[in-house]
Structure 1
Amino acid sequence: MPCDPAASFFGFAGAASALIFSNLGAAYGTAKAGVGVASMGVMRPELVMRCIIPVVMAGVLGIYGLIVAVILVGQIAETNYPFFVGFAHLASGLANGLSGLAAGICIGIVGDAGVRATAQQPKLFVVMILILIFAEALALYGLIVALILAGKSSVTTC
């Protein structure tokens, strides 16, 4: 007896959620931190390359979403895909995507304020980097949970 084909909807929704929400976080973080870099570059152009780190860190969030989306899509099957696995894949995508969105918002705000503050006081650069690392860790936690949830697809009976 084949599984309900509607179950695959949840798997595809999980893959889409991982990519969409992670990219939203990456885009917001890149834009917000980029505005800070542009503003700081007017005052201290020699620090621009050093202060582009928040933009790079925001871009990594999109890669996390891409990794999870590719893994999930590779596990979705036309047959023998029960609702349990579909729900696990949806949870996986949401865990990764929403964690990436939260981290992107945090990286954007900290990056904007941090590079502007670094332009005025260069000693704040290390502090900004430490805060950004903790913000990036939020997305990494989501990635780890997403990979664990994606591994729940060992059940192949309906």
Structure 2
Amino acid sequence: MNDEAKVKLLTITVDTPDTYSSYAGYGHLAAGLTVGLSAMAAGLAIGIVGDAGVRVNAQQPKLFAGMMLILIFAEALGLYGLIIGLVVATKKVDGLCSSYKA
């Protein structure tokens, strides 16, 4: 494969310690925790509702629509966490915290 055929999929820029403030670091930490914890909560909710829904669907097929609505709301919980994480990670405030200078 030659160099011209390669496609750049993701570009990550890392600031130097002179420009990377503690505000940005804690913001990235908070964004990661927000996305991770909301995805974990959504997965837990989907697992519990899916397990109970499969068991109950055999006995009462009328509950299928209600189960699907609850699953959709649980998935929305994970998406909301992702959106909040992106907002927190991209927030830039200059001059709030000083950057590390050696």
Question: Could you say which TM-score interval applies, normalised by the shorter chain?
Answer: 0.7 to 0.9
State yes or no: 1:120 paired with 2:75. no
Query: What secondary structure does 2:20 align onto?
Result: coil
Using the size of structure 1 for normalisation, the TM-score is 0.49
CA shift, 1:140, in A, is: 1.4
- Distance (whole Å) between structure 2 residues aligned to residue 78 and residue 122 of structure 1: 58
1:53 aligned residue? none
1:134 aligns with 2:73: yes
Report deviation, 1:154.
5.8
Letter in 2 for 1:149: V
1:78–1:113 CA distance, 2 compared to 1 (3 A)? same
| 1:88 paired residue among 13, 19, 27 | 27
Q: Which runs of 5+ in 1 are unaligned?
A: 1-70
Choose between structure 1 and 2: higher helix proportion.
1
Distance 1:75 1:98, change over 3 A: farther
- Which structure has the larger Rg? 2
Q: Which has the higher contact order (CA 8 A, sep 6+)?
A: 2
Residue 123 of structure 1: how far off its partner (Å): 1.6
- Number of residue pairs the alignment of both structures matches: 87
Structure 2 stretches of 5 or more lacking a match? 1-9
- Provide the rounded CA distance (Å) in 2 between the counterparts of 1:87 and 1:97: 15
Change over 3 Å in CA distance of 1:75–1:111 after alignment to 2: farther
- Asked if the contact 1:118–1:124 (Cα under 8 Å) also holds between the matched residues in 2, the reply is yes
For residues 8-157 of structure 1, the aligned pairs below 5 Å read 74-79=12-17, 80-153=19-92, 155=94
